[in-house]
Structure 1
Amino acid sequence: MAFKRLSDLFKQDITNKRVLVRVDFNVPMKDGVVTDDTRLQAALPTIAALKNNGAKVILLSHFGRPKGKVVPEMSLGQLVPALSELLAANVTFVPVLFGDEAKAAIDGVDEGSVVLLENTRFYEGEEKNDPELAKQVAALGDFYVNDAFSAAHRAHVSTEGVAKLLPSFAGESMARELDHLDKALGNPVRPVLAIVGGAKVSSKIDLLENLVTKVDALAIGGGMANTFLAAQGIDVGKSLCEKDLLDKARDIMAAADKAGCKIVLPVDVVVSKEFAVNPPTRTTTPNDTKADEMILDAGPESVKALEAVMAESKTIIWNGPLGAFETAPFDMATVEAAKAAAKLAKSGNVIVVAGGGDTVSAMNHAGVADDLSFISTAGGAFLEWMEGKELPGVKALEA
């Protein structure tokens, strides 16, 4: 898709103009202190670019789930020290989202200043995308910038409503995400391999149905693979398996066959009688799983087979682990395959984009998060994009 960027905004003089910027400052905190400032850091390039062009930067964000009520411990005011330190500049906090108090505060700051408004979700109309609230918030700005892809799948006042009322642009973080997602599925270099893992098929039916029509190969791992193995008549013992979805798994495999998409399933598995740290295990073929055993990871031959498909690919998109990676030794397949993907990405010959759910944790666990082409921390928005769904916050930025 074609969308408007900050470079488009900067074609005009924005000195002293008020720019509303939707960021994602829903950060982890303990005892009033930010414990992980990754999301604050992600917003810095956009804030800096706007400041340097003389704009008044007015930040909008949600925090937690206050459900339309004022919850003091969810106030964005507690982020001011951390944000001010990162910016090496004062941040003016306004304990409301709109109205005279907010307008006066914005009018009272100099060009290049940063203003942080109160938690958007303190207002019931935010999640309902209330048109009246959107008008009141939009009245504070001359332009709107969305830099929060992680919230782009929500049609809220701060992600869509305001965007429809002001000239709207994608921030640096948003643009980087959209550019990489376009390279992964929108207009990819083929062949494209999708790796999808995780526990349950039920949470990823839409994803799988979309991917088999878009990619050249689909590797399925984790507990999900057990359901597909069972759909082929293999007894997976007491492994996690959604037996009510065997027909759906067969439908997905048939759709893949029709679309010319190769399905890659484990050819060997690591099984155990108990799910615990370092229990007795054995590696075997899926159809040799005993009645009292469970499949908890893919085996080394499965990793080799996956690496062979990776080597033939030009684009790899990854969502979800290949086994119970949080518990040793069932992290082997995820770690080894992730290292192989990272090596390909570093070679510059393959684009590797990963994201959603446990994927970020899995890539960090494998020590490769910084080596992939792009890793998305957007969670739900990343998944909905992979499912082929329209994201309201992105749609609103179309050129």
Structure 2
Amino acid sequence: MIKKILIANRGEIAARIIHACKKLHIHTVAIYSEADQDSPYVQLADECYLIGPPHVNESYLNVEKIVEVAKKAELDAIHPGYGFMSENGDFARKCQENGFIFIGPSANIIETMGDKVAARKLMKEAGVPIIPGTENALSNIDEAVSAAEEIGYPIMLKASAGGGGIGMQVVHNDDELIKAFDRNAKRAESFFGDGSMFIEKLLKTARHIEIQVLADQFGHVIHLFERECSIQRRNQKVIEEAPALFLSEQTRLKMGEVAVQATKQIGYTNAGTIEFLVDEQENFYFLEMNTRIQVEHPITEEITGVDIVSEQINIASGGRLTLHQNDIQIDGHAIEVRIYAEDPKTFFPSPGKITKYEEPTGDNIRIESSIREGSNVTPFYDPMISKLIVSGNSRDEAITYLKEALHTYKIDGIKTNIPMLLTVIDHEQFKKGNISTNFVQEYV
């Protein structure tokens, strides 16, 4: 059994992993940059080490330094959280080469699924429906224009590597594609070290639905049902809920079965998420697979009672899943909103000092935060500073609790997206469940 874990991450996800470890009586090691030395998660850990300057390349992406700290701390395993090193195959491989358990899938799986073109091919072979698009990465604009005309506009131009909406753009004609191709390729190269691009047919009014899977090292795979992640801004999720209101029971079960079968066929282990786009007729198509814990995992935990982080650790330790598919039932409804330090109108980051911080409280409220009163929100990292999760017996009840919680959540000193979140959940179309990935663009 794993006895000591280094969390190769920061902020609220580092705190979340530390809390899971404490329940399992596992010793925790945190790393922090100079910008994060006063961050709450650092004080939660049993040990902590300064990893470097604020910039991520010198701290949280510094593989050699992280491995050096791991050796010094004499630990068993490393948990990457999400972002940063979580989908870096080289890092997973380096952990294993140095005798540390990487809490996630194998390096080879991370690399294959991280290449969206390769992932599409693999999922197609596994019998998963895929969106019409290019079979190979596009090397130049002429190839892109030819492919787009064959597929038919509008299309979605995407970076083969990475995620988070980076390098992604909706394109309606040749002129837009010519302008967008080099710009997005260069941005992808800058962020991911890979400027490869590909094209998919744009599904209008689609929903973004993902299936959470757990897979142990003995071939046992289960799913924890779905999450509705359609409320997005700039191709990044803002509000997630579980279960998805509009899915029929037949489609829900079919999506779960397809996700489990694909997970087995590719030899995946640990926690992962298979993401789909679903059209108005409930046809679903593979989007990507995230080979890590997701930001939105708490809503799945709330409706199933499964501690996903603890399951990750158990699987990495060589343990068997003790749950069977029939054990997993949906209980109630949960919604998560991501609180960003950003201007709610422009979505531009809003760094600064938190002068007042008061969290909403209640039995149905869960907060996962990386800040407190007096914290400095720096411009060095993603502007998400907190997650507010509410649960209720029904979706309507959860929305009521969420509205009350957002009104009592006090964060002063910086701008946040709370006004934008309230606008969304107050909208009649959101209340009715008439949502899609275009919702923010159309109504907010």
Q: TM-score, with normalisation over the residues of structure 1?
A: 0.35
Q: Which has the larger radius of gyration?
A: 1
Q: 1 or 2, which has the higher helix percentage? A: 1
Name the structure where strand makes up a greater proportion of residues. 2
TM-score w.r.t. structure 2 length?
Answer: 0.32
